Structure 1
């Protein structure tokens, strides 16, 4: 196998667009691609394991990492903080593995500033009406909560122009094939493959 410093893929979407389904399938199906493991100040939920689902740390340690520039990006969501560790990410990328970050738009834009060549992917719902129907079909949220999610979804949709690729999740299989193709196309880009081509050329 050809080993090279890994690629960074970022995926964002409004709640209900199907991002988690697509991202989980991608990591299970594509070799040498792993999920990023975020640091968080929230407590573990039942079944969650430190170092597998998240790195669970306290507020003081999070503050120290912020001061020391230890995060590529970090955000506060619903009273808890989440961040991508710079040392962890660099260590994984150095092995040649690709990393997929499932983060919301604010974190994604912060990461883009830190890693300009990260590939940014936004999952689009087919329409606002379809998104609202998906949220209602879950049966988990009140009308008020759905209204809040829809307003937040509009805010996220307004940032679509900051992403490199837009994948509409209307047909799940088609959306997955498009999502997967972005990873393989990035791996074969001229910028990534130039060192390999140069080594082959030197053999002539």
Structure 2
């Protein structure tokens, strides 16, 4: 039975990476798609685990050869998702989570209309600014640009199936887990999982 594709989108600092990490720790059937990026690794990030870190020329080469399911330029860096890897994992029955921006989500939904879209919002705009500053990884100029773009990003929330307000972390993780479990109970998925049952129901 093929797996599901889950898209998690949020403005920078809303906590999507932490939420997805909580999901992966609690559900062994979910795998994270490792994107390609041209940005520099942050402290603690590991090549092949958090991202595939490549230079701009390499990224553009992959893009021009049609290797990406989606790609986007965000805050002066490129991000992209391997098309072949996603298709292989889904065909093998894995549920795959994509952490991508709203532009990438639009591209993915065109290729995978059944993908589940999840948008993570911060509890407030002030809280978002506080989180960005507390990370201590970005300059004031970068923080200002991220905040400027965040409102525009959040206006795309209506394009997604589910919205999580990330105020209390454990509650937000539980909400994400509930969405993933619900996606497995969709009629089309259950039909694929139990074809003999549905065949019996449709008999005259």
Q: Shorter-chain TM-score category?
A: 0.7 to 0.9
User: Residue in 2 aligned with 1:84?
Assistant: 81
CA RMSD between the two structures: 2.5
User: Residue in 2 aligned with 1:34?
Assistant: 31
Deviations, residues 129-169 of structure 1 (Å, cap 9, x unaligned) = 22223333445555544332221110111111111110001
Q: How many Å apart are 1:71 and its aligned residue? A: 1.2
Under a length normalisation based on structure 2, what TM-score does the superposition of the two structures give? 0.85
Which of 97, 100, 103 pairs up with 1:103? 100
In structure 2, what is the Cα distance between the partners aligned to 1:118 and 1:180? 16
Under a length normalisation based on structure 1, what TM-score does the superposition of the two structures give? 0.85
1:139–1:56 distance in 2 versus 1, CA, 3 Å: closer
1:120-159 superposed matches below 5 A:
120-141=117-138, 143-159=140-156
1:45–1:166 distance in 2 versus 1, CA, 3 Å: closer
User: Residue in 1 aligned with 2:71?
Assistant: 74
Contact 2:191 2:198 in 1 (8 A): no
Structure 1 window deviating more from structure 2 (187-196 vs 75-84): it is 75-84
Deviations, residues 63-102 of structure 1 (Å, cap 9, x unaligned) = 3433332211011234442211111111111110111111
In structure 2, what is the Cα distance between the partners aligned to 1:195 and 1:91? 18
User: Residue in 1 aligned with 2:180?
Assistant: 183
1:166 is aligned to 2:163: yes
1:14 is aligned to 2:7: no
In structure 2, what is the Cα distance between the partners aligned to 1:58 and 1:138? 24
How many residues are treated as equivalent by the alignment? 201
User: Residue in 2 aligned with 1:24?
Assistant: 21
In structure 1, what is the Cα distance between the partners aligned to 2:47 and 2:13? 27
Contact 2:42 2:137 in 1 (8 A): no
Any gaps of 5 or more consecutive residues in structure 1?
A: none
Contact 2:69 2:83 in 1 (8 A): yes
In structure 2, what is the Cα distance between the partners aligned to 1:136 and 1:51? 27
In structure 2, what is the Cα distance between the partners aligned to 1:191 and 1:91? 20
In structure 2, what is the Cα distance between the partners aligned to 1:138 and 1:66? 31
Any gaps of 5 or more consecutive residues in structure 2?
A: none
